[in-house]
Amino acid sequence: MRLAISGTAAQGKTTLLDSFLKHWDMYDTPEESYRVKLPAKDKHSSKTTKETQWTILNHMIDEMQKYDKDDFVIFDRCPLDNLVYTLWSYHKNTSDIDELFVEKCIPVIRESFRLLDIIFLVPITNVVKDDIEDDGVRDVDAEYISEIDNFFKALYTNWYNDDPRFFPKEDRAAIVEIFGSTEERIKMLELYIDKSGTMFGEEDTLVDTSSVLDQFGMPTIDQTTKDGPVQYK
C-alpha cells in the first residue's frame, strides 16, 4: 500500500512514522525529504512562496510516482499538506501566492490523490504536544500551527462530502484521522492495516469497534456514518 502521514507541525508525525516503520518493517519511506529541495532563501512557513510550494509539490509527486499499489511505502507528508499550506497562504495574503497559482495547483494535487491509498491525518489534540523546535524550515508560531490544523480539518470534511473541487470522485486516497499517544495511534492504524502490511478488505473482520474506539473516545463506525465526520479538538 501507499500511505502518507499528514498534519500541522509539532503533532508527533515523525515519531509516529518511526514507530510505524518498526511495527510494519516491510514498509519503506523515501530517504530524500522535500526539505532538501527548498530554495535557500525560503522556508516552509507562513511566508512560503509560489516557488517553494511548486517545488515541494513536484518533489512529492515525483517520489509518489516511483511506487504502485503493490509496494509498501509510507510518506512523511503528501500533496494534501501542500494544498493546505497553499490555500492558507492565499487566504491570508502573506506571500506571492495568488488565485491563479491556486488554480494551477488544485488539478495537479487532485490527480495526485490517485497515487495514494490512505492518508492518515494527525490533528491537534490535547494528548500529544511536541515541543515546537525552530529547525529553520517550519514555522513555530502557535497560532499559525493551529490555523493550519483548521485548514486540514476543513479539507477532511470536504473529502468526506465528496467535494469534486479538491478530490477525485473515484480511485482516490482515503483520509483517516488518528490521534492519541503514539501507542494509541499505532493501535488505531491496526484497524486498517493487517500484520502483513496490507489493508483489511471488506470481507475481513477488523475488531470489535465499539470497544476499541470507545477506548480512544471515538465514535463507532455506525455513529460516524450517521453523523458525519467528527472534529477533535
pLDDT value at residue 211 = 47
Q: Which residue has the higher pLDDT, 199 or 183?
A: 183
**Residue 56: pLDDT band by 50, 70, 90 thresholds?**
very high
Q: Is the dihedral of CA 64, 65, 69, 71 positive or negative?
A: negative
Q: pLDDT digit string (tens) for 112-122?
A: 999 999 999 99
pLDDT value at residue 36 = 65
Please state which of the four CATH numbers 3.30.365.10, 1.10.1530.10, 3.90.180.10, 3.40.50.300 is assigned to the domain occupying 2-181.
3.40.50.300
The answer, yes or no, to whether residue 82 has pLDDT greater than 60, is: yes
The answer, yes or no, to whether residue 86 has pLDDT greater than 50, is: yes
Q: How many CB atoms lie within 10 A of CB 156?
A: 20
Question: DSSP alpha helices (H): ranges in 24-177?
Answer: 50-64, 79-92, 99-112, 142-160
pLDDT value at residue 95 = 92
**Residue 142: pLDDT band by 50, 70, 90 thresholds?**
confident
The answer, yes or no, to whether residue 230 has pLDDT greater than 90, is: no
Give the 3-state secondary structure of 62-95. Answer: HHHCCCCCCCCEEEECCHHHHHHHHHHHHHHCCC
What nine digits make up the cell of 67?
511506487
Mean pLDDT of 176-186: 93
pLDDT value at residue 134 = 47
Which range, 33-42, 70-79, 200-209, is most confident?
Answer: 70-79
Give domain limits for the chain. Answer: 2-181
3 φ, ψ to 5°? -120, 160
Q: Determine the Cα–Cα distance for residues 175 and 120; give it in Å rounded to an integer.
A: 6
Q: Which residue has the higher pLDDT, 152 or 126?
A: 152
**Alpha-carbon distance values, 68 to 4, 64, 74, 117, 135 (Å):** 14, 8, 12, 10, 33
Residue 158 in contact with residue 165, Cβ under 8 Å?
Answer: yes
pLDDT value at residue 39 = 58
Q: Determine the Cα–Cα distance for residues 207 and 230; give it in Å rounded to an integer.
A: 21
pLDDT value at residue 10 = 82
The answer, yes or no, to whether residue 128 has pLDDT greater than 50, is: no
pLDDT value at residue 44 = 58
Q: pLDDT digit string (tens) for 92-104?
A: 998 999 999 999 9
Q: pLDDT digit string (tens) for 211-229?
A: 444 544 444 333 333 344 4
pLDDT value at residue 37 = 64
pLDDT value at residue 141 = 80
